A and B are shown apart, each in its own frame.
Chain A
Amino acid sequence: GESVGLHLPTLSVQEGDNSIINCAYSNSASDYFIWYKQESGKGPQFIIDIRSNMDKRQGQRVTVLLNKTVKHLSLQIAATQPGDSAVYFCAETLPNSGGSNYKLTFGKGTLLTVNP
């Protein structure tokens, strides 16, 4: 899976399947995690976030899971559609301290390709 600091370039799925994009984070003090989607030629777009006091959070067709024990984050996309094809980034930040909660650290991204 993707790691903040390592490169996992692509994930290819069939339309209608579920997609799972993984992210490993390094700082055990991080308490807020966010997933972004970036379509070709556009800026990243917020998808969903989760705080460290939660294990799971659901949105529309997306679920984020957080495993603090192994410092692992995943984004699950249900019934993947061609419009979901994009690069997905995870990001983390430290607890609110002197503005440090504004310093997001992004992973390198995973390219999701949805085949019709």
Chain B
Amino acid sequence: NAGVTQTPKFQVLKTGQSMTLQCAQDMNHEYMSWYRQDPGMGLRLIHYSVGAGITDQGEVPNGYNVSRSTTEDFPLRLLSAAPSQTSVYFCASSHARDAGELFFGEGSRLTVL
């Protein structure tokens, strides 16, 4: 059981470049979300989805785009990377009925130069 899989694990971008962080889960979870983790800031919610075709903004959505075309996948897109987006990104999923019992991926460390 793979759980939540994130790729890539590490990425270095130049300011203005675009990229997509991939997230896939094999647990048939309705709910998926993206968080960023910065030193001294804890985890902050970027975007979330309660099911295929449904997405919504979290606490810090600016500069990020998401879509949910399937139950399994929830990619996070950076359209024009900025140094302020240097962070560790975590994807998480859960059953809708147990929304707090999130299963997290291993994280993607992104550096924007």
Q: Contacts A99-B50, A103-B48, A103-B58 given: A44-B42 contact, CB under 8 Å? A: no
Q: Are B104 and A34 touching (Cβ within 8 A)?
A: no
Judge whether B105 is part of the interface by a CB distance below 8 angstroms: yes
- Interface size range on A against B: 20 to 34
- Interface size range on B against A: 20 to 34
Most chain-A Cβ atoms within 10 A of its Cβ — which of B43, B59, B102? Answer: B43
Chain B residues, CB < 8 A from A103 = 45, 48, 58-59
Chain A residues, CB < 8 A from B105 = 43
Within 8 A of A (CB), among B27-52: 31, 33, 35, 40-45, 48, 50
Chain A residues, CB < 8 A from B4 = 43
Judge whether A58 is part of the interface by a CB distance below 8 angstroms: no
Q: Are A43 and B40 touching (Cβ within 8 A)?
A: no
Which of chain A's residues has its CB closest to B4's CB?
Answer: A43
Q: Contacts A101-B99, A102-B31 given: A43-B42 contact, CB under 8 Å? A: no
Judge whether B73 is part of the interface by a CB distance below 8 angstroms: no
Q: Are A93 and B106 touching (Cβ within 8 A)?
A: no
Q: Are B43 and A46 touching (Cβ within 8 A)?
A: no
The stretch from A11-19, A61-69, A71-79, A105-113 touching chain B is: A105-113
Chain A residues, CB < 8 A from B50 = 99, 102
Rounded to whole angstroms, the CA-CA distance of A44 and B102 in the bound complex is 9
Q: Determine how close the nearest CB of chain A comes to the CB of B81; give it in whole angstroms.
A: 22
Given contacts A46-B103, A102-B99, A104-B100, 6 further A-B contacts (CB under 8 A): A32-B100, A42-B106, A44-B102, A93-B99, A102-B31, A104-B45
The chain B residues found within 8 Å of chain A, CB to CB, are 4, 31, 33, 35, 40-45, 48, 50, 56, 58-59, 90, 92, 99-107
The chain A residues found within 8 Å of chain B, CB to CB, are 4, 7, 32, 34, 36, 41-46, 49, 89, 91, 93, 99, 101-109
Cross-chain pairs A/B with CB under 8 angstroms, 29 sampled: A4-B42, A7-B40, A34-B101, A36-B102, A42-B107, A43-B90, A43-B105, A49-B100, A49-B101, A89-B43, A91-B43, A91-B100, A93-B99, A93-B100, A99-B48, A99-B50, A99-B56, A101-B100, A102-B31, A102-B50, A102-B99, A103-B58, A103-B59, A104-B102, A106-B35, A106-B43, A108-B40, A108-B42, A109-B42
